[in-house]
Chains A and B, each alone.
Chain A
Amino acid sequence: DAGITQSPRYKITETGRQVTLMCHQTWSHSYMFWYRQDLGHGLRLIYYSAAADITDKGEVPDGYVVSRSKTENFPLTLESATRSQTSVYFCASSEYYEQYFGPGTRLTVT
């Protein structure tokens, strides 16, 4: 199906473990974004990518790593998960300014 998908939709992990959240889009959009959404903080940009192999930090990049070897995929890795990274993570893509969002991944770090 066309669109933007995220996996897993729900994830529970332990402190210190590495976790990778996947994002896949079928529109061939150049830009992709990772946000986290926490109560009281709205949407905060973690990383973004302007094209394959081009990534840059957003507002809250610490503790996260991204890569983009293919246009359609933009995985987000938490290298050593902490409880403060418990959040809902949204991936988005855009070809111009309006961003289209995936369904989100709810991550709980215990």
Chain B
Amino acid sequence: AQKVTQAQTEISVVEKEDVTLDCVYETRDTTYYLFWYKQPPSGELVFLIRRNSFDEQNEISGRYSWNFQKSTSSFNFTITASQVVDSAVYFCARSMDSNYQLIWGAGTKLIIKP
């Protein structure tokens, strides 16, 4: 199966540090989408970003940035100047060809200490 790997099970940093969450995916497709979701301690799953495989431009949204590198099949997520409210489990996912299903990574638990 074509996997999505989030090798970091848990990351703990002190507030205001920058932190990068890694995501590596496998695919034989030429067209696909990549996603990041956030699951805060309250439990809901929140969509953060979708990237098209044709668009390798990095994206920045406030303190969040995403680095997509097709050559290394990676889609990493960086939080700059982390805050306690960033504490959550973050999931990376990739689209499948059919039926709009997503292949999910196992998630990375991010702990931001005050």
Among residues of A, the one whose C-beta sits closest to the C-beta of B102 is A99
**Within 8 Å CB of B50, what residues of A?**
97-98
Residue pair B99, A45 in contact (C-beta under 8 Å): no
Whether, in the assembled complex, A101 has its beta carbon less than 8 Å from a beta carbon of chain B, the answer is yes
What is the distance, in angstroms, from A28's C-beta to the closest C-beta of chain B? 15
In the complex, what distance in Å separates the CA atom of A92 from the CA atom of B102?
Answer: 11
- Report whether over half of chain A's contact residues are helix, strand or loop; otherwise say mixed: strand
Among residues of A, the one whose C-beta sits closest to the C-beta of B34 is A97
Given contacts A48-B99, A97-B33, contact A43 B104 (CB under 8 A): yes
Residue pair A99, B47 in contact (C-beta under 8 Å): yes
Given contacts A31-B99, A56-B99, A96-B100, contact A90 B33 (CB under 8 A): no
Interface size on A, residues (CB 8 A): 21
Whether, in the assembled complex, B45 has its beta carbon less than 8 Å from a beta carbon of chain A, the answer is yes
**Within 8 Å CB of A101, what residues of B?**
44-47
Binding site for B on A (CB under 8 A): 31, 33, 42-43, 45, 48, 50, 56, 58, 88, 90, 92, 94, 96-101, 103-104
Q: Apart from A31-B99, A43-B91, A104-B44, list 18 A-B contacts with CB within 8 A.
A: A33-B101, A42-B104, A42-B106, A42-B107, A43-B104, A50-B99, A88-B43, A90-B45, A94-B100, A96-B100, A97-B33, A97-B102, A98-B33, A98-B35, A99-B102, A101-B44, A101-B47, A104-B45
